[in-house]
Amino acid sequence: MMQTVQTIVADLKDKPGALLPILHAIQNTLGYVPPEIVPTIAKALNLSRAEIHGVISFYHYFRDHAPGKKTVRICRAESCLAMSGKDLENHAKAKLGIDYHETTADGKFSLEPVYCLGNCACSPAIQIDNDVYGRVSNTDFDEILKEHSA
């Protein structure tokens, strides 16, 4: 893991404003940003550990622990709320048996809220990893989940 991180940091550290690209590359590779690599990044960018930690914790997208195999994001924004998004949210939590920011016991799915997927013409919307789904009924949700369970 350290080797991977060091390669990423070495590749990107000279970009102007390198920190976000570095964090993205790490999360894309490892699935999260492990707290133990913070000193490595801090040293390479000549910043304090507190500054790096501050950035990681500021952004909703970065996480400091391993997520489930797939991340389910439920849109909580107004357009989806206007189209029974709240029902879908409740259904998703019940179906997965977890709340936001949690991972199912089998480690398959993490659940996160998202504030708009730009899919407002097809509300309510969800996203599983990079796949976006629109006009999702509770039944659709169950089927989509099944597809991603395989």
Partner 1 sequence: MSVTVYIPCDSSAVSIGADRVANAVAQEAKNRGIEINVVRNGSRGLYWLEPMVEVATDKGRIAYGAVKTGDVASLFDADFLNGGAHTLNLGLTEEIPYLKKQQRLTFARVGITDPVSVEDYVAHDGYSGLKNALSYSQADVVKHVSDSGLRGRGGAAFPTGIKWNTVLNTQADQKYIICNADEGDSGTFSDRMIMEGDPLVLIEGMTIAGIAVGATQGYIYLRIEYPHAYEILNKAIENATAAGYLGENIQGSGKTFHLEVRQGAGAYVCGEETALMESLEGKRGLVRFKPPLPAISGLFGKPTVVNNVISLASVPIILDKGGEFYRDFGMGRSRGTLPLQLAGNLKHTGLVELAFGATLREVLYDFGGGSATGKPIRAVQVGGPLGSYLPESQFDTPLDYEAFAEIWAVLGHGGIVAFDETVDLAQMAKYSMEFCVEESCGKCTPCRIGSTRGYEVMDEIVAKRDLDKNIPLLRSLCDTMLNGSLCAMGGMTPYPVLSALNHFPEDFGIEAA
Binding region for partner 1 (CB under 8 A): 16-21, 23-24, 45, 51, 54-55, 58-62, 77-83, 114-123, 125, 127, 130, 132-135
Q: CB within 8 A of 142, min separation 6: which ones?
A: 95
To which H or E segment does residue 88 belong? helix 85-96
Nearer to partner 1, 3 or 17 (CB): 17
C-beta of 78: minimal distance to partner 1 in Å? 5
Residue pointed to by tokens 């990107």:
12
Burial class (CB in 10 A: 0-12, 13-18, 19+), 26: buried
User: How many whole angstroms separate alpha carbon 49 and alpha carbon 85?
Assistant: 39
Residue pointed to by tokens 């997520």:
67
Nearer to partner 1, 44 or 98 (CB): 44
- Cα diameter, the chain: 51
| Residue 126 DSSP class | E
C-beta of 74: minimal distance to partner 1 in Å? 13
C-beta of 106: minimal distance to partner 1 in Å? 26
Nearer to partner 1, 77 or 96 (CB): 77
C-beta of 49: minimal distance to partner 1 in Å? 14
Nearer to partner 1, 68 or 85 (CB): 85
Tokens of 59: 């952004």
CB 81 within 8 A of CB 49: no
C-beta of 96: minimal distance to partner 1 in Å? 20
Nearer to partner 1, 104 or 120 (CB): 120
